């Protein structure tokens, strides 16, 4: 047994990484839903989830159990049972698959073991992500078709057209970054942004137009407001997933949020320097190494304050436990071996978190586009702009 | 044997099964899904040969674009299940022998070619994006540009046909 383990250490290690990433990601997505509900609620001057756990913190758990134990209601006989079940499965699988090539940080050496926080480092990392996201349209198209109902079908037809159109703008806007970096490997793209002028040398500065194109088409690709025509509830009930109940519906939600996470990771990697700190690596800015600990400490303080502010005993107890846990974590993160090792991961997560917040913010602020506006915007504005960006960038690079 | 050796058989088998299922299924959507499976399996086979760029393009272009169009059209036309027809006489007396002959021929040729095939070393091809790009824009520049113009002409033709007033 032990010899087998030694022979396949790399495989076992990779499997453990996959397991940890999926668990962390799914928990993260559950709390992303909570985060979104909270932020949108505060934008609309409501409280959002507040009853289940302190600040509604146990709401994701309750939602998870609810969707598991609900009755499976289906009104119409589906066109094809196999395809009907395949669609939500595809939605989650493809969304999780794309995250496999995302590098979350630089190589980390802890206690003599070198770890790479990435599941697969492909030479064609970016192409792989684009290929996987181009398959994502099947989940929605098949869901709408197999539901045997008119609103889902309309929603999925819209979404097929929308995703195919915006994929074009998405791919074109990435080419600018590729021209600068000269590689398709996501890790090498991040490395190409390591140096600094007086500003950090991120591709967002030379590629501002490409970034805007990519950001807008990424929102459209993940079917989020203001481009969520496939599920426009005012016209199509709930669009392509109208006929889905119980955990099948939850799978679509997980797929959508995982797509959001992937898009945020890509934005961070392609345009915002990945795991590189925005501060120059000089002695003056050495104090920025303590930011992770400070952030966790502030959160811990907030939780501990809530012990006195909340009224229900159980909630106060939970907050106390959470506060002490976070304070312990903050202390741990400030210790020498972890302090250096977690820098990359911290900055990466901060940037991804910022983009996720912007996603939610956009949803809470902007009204939905009309369908013809959406298509006109994609084809007549974004695609030409992205192509012009490619031409200007290559001329600029060829001249300089 | 290495893992890629077994992976080859898994995905080659998947491709063949998908192709058989494509013909076997009576509903166009199921056939289209089988075709997507075949293309995905082929992409993995390219990957096993070290041609990563071709693998990615296979998925992006065939599975991600062309098949989406297929599925889209099938959904729009709301095509139902097909009915099976009687086994035709032409198929029995002409089709079957010819198909058999073809299988035997291919098998014989492959059998003769086995030592040659066995010598193919995946590491000899460098299917990286950089290499493919260099080849396309130096050695094969003219065919590449001609093909691009051909596709452009076809595109414009399609638009003209679609836009024509009745």
Q: What is the pTM (predicted TM-score) of this model?
A: 0.84
Q: How far apart are CA A197 and CA A207, in angstroms?
A: 16
pLDDT at B153: 95
Q: Is B75 on the interface with A (CB under 8 A)?
A: yes
Q: How confident is the model at residue B75 (pLDDT cuts 50, 70, 90)?
A: confident
Q: What is the pLDDT of residue B81?
A: 73
Which residues of chain A lie closer than 8 angstroms to B7, CB-CB? Answer: none
Average pLDDT in chain A: 83
Residue A147 has pLDDT above 60, yes or no: yes
Of A75-84, A216-225, B101-110, B113-122, the poorest mean pLDDT is in: B113-122
| B59: chain A residues, CB-CB within 8 Å | 131-132, 134-135
pLDDT of residue B104: 94
Q: What is the mean pLDDT of residues B96-112?
A: 90
CA nearest A389: which of A216, A163, A225? A216
Q: Give me the interface pTM, i.e. the ipTM.
A: 0.76
Judge whether A145 and A79 are in contact, CB under 8 Å. yes
The residue assigned the tokens 């021929």 is B105
From the list B27, B33, B64, which residue is nearest A134 (CB)? Answer: B64
B72 touches chain A (CB under 8 A): yes
- Residue A375, pLDDT above cutoff 80: yes
Q: What is the pLDDT of residue A54?
A: 83
Give contacts of B129 with chain A, Cβ < 8 Å. 123-124, 127, 184
CA dihedral A361, A365, A366, A368 (to 10 degrees): 90
Mapped to the 3 state alphabet, what secondary structure does chain A carry? Answer: CHHHHHHCHHHHHHHHHHHHHHHHHHHHHHHHHHHHHHHHHHHCCCCCCCCCCHHHCCHHHHHHHHHHHCCCCCCCCCCCHHHHHHHHHHHHHHHHHHHCCCCCCCCEEECCEEECCCCCCCCCHHHHHHHHHHHHHHHHHHHHHHCCCHHHHHHHHHHHHHHHHHHHHHHHHHHHHHHHHCCCCHHHHHHCCCCECCCECCCCCCCHHHHHHHHHHHHHHCCCCCCCHHHCHHHHCCHHHCCCCHHHHHHHHHHHHHHHHHHHHHHHHHHCCCCCCCCCCCHHHHHHHHHHHHHHHHHHHHHHHHHHHCCCHHHHHHHHHHHHHHHHHHHHHCCHHHHHHCHHHHHHHHHHHHHHHHHHHHHHHCCCCCHHHHHHHHHHHHHHHHHHHHHHHHHHHHHC
Q: How far is CA A163 from CA A84, A118, A159, A324, A363, in A?
A: 20, 27, 6, 46, 18
What's the pLDDT score for residue A233? 65
Select from A159, A182, A163, A171 the least CA-distant residue to A129: A171
Neighbours of A108 (CB within 10 A): 18
Alpha-carbon span A242 to A152, nearest angstrom? 6
What does the alpha-carbon distance between residue B70 and residue B66 come to, in Å, rounded to a whole number? 6
Among the residue ranges A150-159, A309-318, B115-124, the one predicted with the least confidence is B115-124
pLDDT band for B118, please (50, 70, 90 cuts).
Answer: low
What pLDDT shows up at residue B20? 92
Q: Of the ranges A149-153, A254-258, A314-318, A350-354, which one carries the lowest mean pLDDT score?
A: A149-153
In chain B, where does DSSP find H-type helix? 3-24, 28-48, 52-57, 67-77, 89-90, 96-118, 129-137, 141-163
Q: Is the pLDDT of residue B120 over 60?
A: no
Residue B148 clears pLDDT 90, i.e. is over it: yes
Query: Model confidence over A92-144: pLDDT tens digits?
Result: 888 888 888 888 878 777 776 777 777 777 778 888 888 888 888 888 888 88
According to the model, what pLDDT value does residue B145 have? 93
Predicted local distance difference test score (pLDDT) of residue B38: 92
Average pLDDT over residues B56-74: 85
pLDDT in tens, A187-199: 888 888 877 766 7
Nearest chain B residue to A11 by CA distance is: B3
**How close does chain B come to A262, measured CA to CA in Å?**
18
Q: Which of A376-385, A391-400, B43-52, B73-82 has the lowest mean pLDDT?
A: B73-82
Contact list, B128 vs chain A (CB under 8 Å): 123
Contact of A221 with chain B, judged by CB distance below 8 Å, is answered with no
Tell me if chain A has a CB within 8 Å of the CB of B52: yes
Looking at chain A, the whole-number percentage of residues with pLDDT higher than 90 is 6
Say what the pLDDT of residue A82 is: 81
What proportion of chain A, given as a percentage, has pLDDT over 70?
94
- Tell me the backbone φ, ψ of residue A74, rounded to 5 degrees: -135, 125
Most confident of A155-164, A317-326, B107-116: A317-326
Task: Taking residues B134-162, report their average pLDDT.
Answer: 91
Query: Using 50, 70 and 90 to split pLDDT, how confident is the model at B1?
Result: low
> Cα A62 vs. chain centroid, distance in angstroms?
22
| Mean of per-residue pLDDT scores for chain B | 83
| SS3 track for A297-341 | HHHHHHHHHHHHHCCCHHHHHHHHHHHHHHHHHHHHHCCHHHHHH
Using the predicted structure, report yes or no on whether residue A33 has a pLDDT greater than 80: yes
């Amino acid at each position: 047994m032990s010899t087998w383990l030694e022979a396949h250490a790399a495989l076992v290690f990779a499997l453990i990484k996959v397991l940890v990433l999926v668990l962390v990601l799914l928990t993260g997505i559950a709390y992303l839903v909570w985060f979104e509900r909270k932020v949108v609620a505060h934008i609309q001057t409501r409280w959002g989830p507040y009853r289940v756990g302190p600040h509604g913190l146990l709401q994701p758990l309750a939602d998870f159990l609810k969707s598991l134990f609900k009755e499976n209601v289906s009104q119409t006989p589906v066109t094809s049972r196999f395809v009907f079940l395949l669609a939500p499965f595809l939605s989650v699988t493809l969304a999780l698959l794309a995250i496999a090539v995302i590098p979350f940080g630089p190589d980390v050496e802890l206690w003599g073991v070198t770890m790479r926080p990435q599941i697969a480092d492909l030479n064609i990392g970016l192409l792989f992500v684009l290929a996987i996201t181009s398959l994502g349209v099947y989940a929605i198209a098949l869901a709408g078709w197999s539901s045997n109902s008119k609103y889902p079908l309309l929603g999925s037809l819209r979404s097929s057209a929308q995703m195919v159109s915006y994929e074009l703008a998405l791919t074109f806007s990435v080419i600018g970054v590729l021209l600068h970096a000269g590689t398709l490997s996501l890790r090498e793209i991040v490395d190409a942004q390591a140096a600094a002028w007086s500003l950090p040398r991120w591709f967002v500065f030379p590629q501002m137009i490409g970034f805007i194109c990519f950001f807008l088409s990424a929102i459209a690709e993940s079917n989020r407001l203001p481009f969520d025509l496939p599920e426009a509830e005012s016209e199509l009930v709930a669009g392509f997933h109208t006929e889905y109940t119980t955990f099948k519906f939850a799978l679509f939600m997980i797929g959508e949020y995982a797509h959001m996470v992937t898009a945020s990771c890509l934005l961070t990697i392609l345009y915002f320097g990945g795991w590189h700190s925005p501060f120059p690596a000089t002695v003056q800015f050495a104090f920025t190494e303590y930011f992770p600990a400070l952030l966790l400490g502030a959160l811990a303080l907030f939780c501990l304050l809530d012990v006195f502010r909340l009224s229900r005993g159980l909630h106060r107890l939970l907050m106390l436990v959470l506060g002490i846990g976070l304070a312990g974590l903050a202390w741990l993160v400030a210790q020498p071996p972890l302090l250096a090792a977690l820098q990359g991961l911290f900055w990466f997560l901060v940037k991804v978190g910022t983009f996720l917040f912007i996603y939610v913010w956009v949803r809470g602020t902007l009204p939905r586009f009309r369908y013809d506006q959406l298509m006109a915007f994609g084809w007549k504005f974004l695609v030409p702009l992205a192509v012009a960006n490619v031409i200007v960038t290559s001329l600029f690079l060829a001249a300089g | 044997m290495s893992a890629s050796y077994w992976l080859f058989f898994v995905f080659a088998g998947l491709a063949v099964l998908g192709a058989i299922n494509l013909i076997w299924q009576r509903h166009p959507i199921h056939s289209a899904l089988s075709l997507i499976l075949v293309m995905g399996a082929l992409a993995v086979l390219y990957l096993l040969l070290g041609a990563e760029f071709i693998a990615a393009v296979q998925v992006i272009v065939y599975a991600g674009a062309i098949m989406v169009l297929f599925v889209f059209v099938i959904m729009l036309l709301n095509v139902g299940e097909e009915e099976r027809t009687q086994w035709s006489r032409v198929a029995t007396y002409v089709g079957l022998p010819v198909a058999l002959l073809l299988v035997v021929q291919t098998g014989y040729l492959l059998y003769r070619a086995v030592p040659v095939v066995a010598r193919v070393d995946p590491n000899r091809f460098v299917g990286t994006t950089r290499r493919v790009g260099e080849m396309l824009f130096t050695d094969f520049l003219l065919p590449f540009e001609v093909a691009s113009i051909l596709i452009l002409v076809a595109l414009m033709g399609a638009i003209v046909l679609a836009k024509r007033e009745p």
